[in-house]
Each structure stands twice: as structure tokens, then as C-alpha cells.
Chains A and B, each alone.
Chain A
Amino acid sequence: QLQLQESGPGLVKPSETLSLTCTVSGGSISSSSYYWGWIRQPPGKGLEWIGSIYYSGSTYYNPSLKSRVTISVDTSKNQFSLKLSSVTAADTAVYYCARQGTTVTTPLIDPWGQGTLVTVSS
């Protein structure tokens, strides 16, 4: 059974870079033609798609975050990662990693990681 687990600092200072890693178990990132994505949810609010990456490395980003986001994949570690630069308090959220499906235009997001809360504060 495919499982995803987010890891990274729970507290980031304003203007710094948020870095998270998603470790995939129960399956290989590179052996299947899936996209892998990041989604976030501010406390008490709705879901926001951040972006996704194909196992070969091609990426799609939310236009509103594109200038600050980098998603990368490390197939040797079966991991993919998120970097969000110049963070502010508005970036405080639960960050989820997930498998997004075989085509980027049909965002079949399943399964999801359990999520990790990242707070931006000095």
C-alpha cells in the first residue's frame, strides 16, 4: 500500500525558505507514470494546490506561487521535495504531499500524506 510522509521544520522565520520532503513507501516514484504534488491548507481554511512534478522531473506550479516555489524529485531516495522562498505569515499552513495521478490535467490526488504544520514566525 502506497504511503507518503512529509518531513521538515515546523517553524520557519519570515523571509526565509521553507523546505519539506515527502518520502514515498510501498511503491517507487520512478517505476510508475505518476505526478507527485504538494497541497497546503491554512488553519481553518480551504485547500490550495502548490504544484506537482513528474517522475522525470517536469514541473507544474500554481501561478500565484510560481516565483517562490521549487519542487524537485530524488528517485534514488524515493523522495520529492518542496522549497518555498521568502515566506511570510500567510504561508503558515498544513502542507500535504500526495500522488496526483497519471495526467496533470486530471488531478486525481490519492493517496495523501498525513500533513505537517509549518508555522512562519520570528
Chain B
Amino acid sequence: QSVLTQPPSASGTPGQRVTISCSGSSSNIGSNTVNWYQQLPGTAPKLLIYSNNQRPSGVPDRFSGSKSGTSASLAISGLQSEDEADYYCAAWDDSLNGSVVFGGGTKLTVL
């Protein structure tokens, strides 16, 4: 299983606000920043949020990130059908000489 824990699925109706959680430990989220990636069906992942809460240019402000202690969250407000995708959190883990660790991914369904 993945070092970072995400719920396998989430859902919402258009216009709703949904949140996706990412739980880690002191060696990863607790001491390093969190990034979030969006993977639309059949495509490569795309950077969605970096440094816990920063949006790259071009990412709508409907997407926001936060971090507290050893957990992080991705929030999507004003849910749209095109937001249906897999979402992954990632962070550096300081254990075992260090490595990037990902969450298992959350499949977001827009009902």
C-alpha cells in the first residue's frame, strides 16, 4: 500500500464543493511540502497544487490546497464535469535516504 493515504473515491454534483484528504507521517507531510496532481482519463498527470497551497499558472482558483500537521487536503469548489479525474498527493519522505512518495489516488466522480 501507499505511504500516503487517500480515500479511493469521492463524488459530488456540479457546483458542489468536495475535499480529498491525504494522510501521512512526520517523515513526509509533517516535515515537507505537499503537491497535488490531476490525472484525466488516458492522460499524463498534471501539477495542480504545489508547496501545499500554491496554484501553477492556468489552474483555476476553484482548486485549493491546505496542510496541517501530517495531513493535507485538496478542495475543489464549484465542481464541474471536467473535474472528473484521479487526484494524487505527493511529498518527499525523509526516511530511508529519502524518496518521493505518492498517495494511492482518489477517483473523483461528478454525478
A86 at the interface (CB under 8 A from B): no
Number of interface residues of B (CB under 8 A): 27
Report the Cα distance A109→B33, complex, angstroms: 13
Majority SS at the chain A contact face: loop
Report the Cα distance A115→B44, complex, angstroms: 7
Residues of A within 8 A of B37 (CB): 47, 109
Residues of A within 8 A of B97 (CB): 60, 63
- Contact flags (1/0) for B98-111 with A, using CB distance below 8 Å? 11111111000000
User: Of A49, A105, A112, which contacts B102 at CB under 8 A?
Assistant: A49
Residues of B within 8 A of A37 (CB): 100
A106 at the interface (CB under 8 A from B): yes
Residues of A within 8 A of B50 (CB): 106, 108, 110
A-side interface residues toward B, CB under 8 Å? 37, 46-49, 52, 60-63, 96, 100, 104-115
B90 at the interface (CB under 8 A from A): yes
CB distance from B66 to the nearest CB of A (A): 17
Do B98 and A60 touch (CB < 8 A)? yes
Known A49-B90, A104-B92; further 19 A-B contacts with Cβ < 8 A? A47-B88, A47-B102, A47-B105, A48-B102, A62-B100, A100-B100, A104-B98, A105-B32, A106-B32, A106-B35, A106-B51, A107-B35, A107-B92, A108-B50, A109-B35, A109-B47, A110-B46, A113-B44, A115-B44
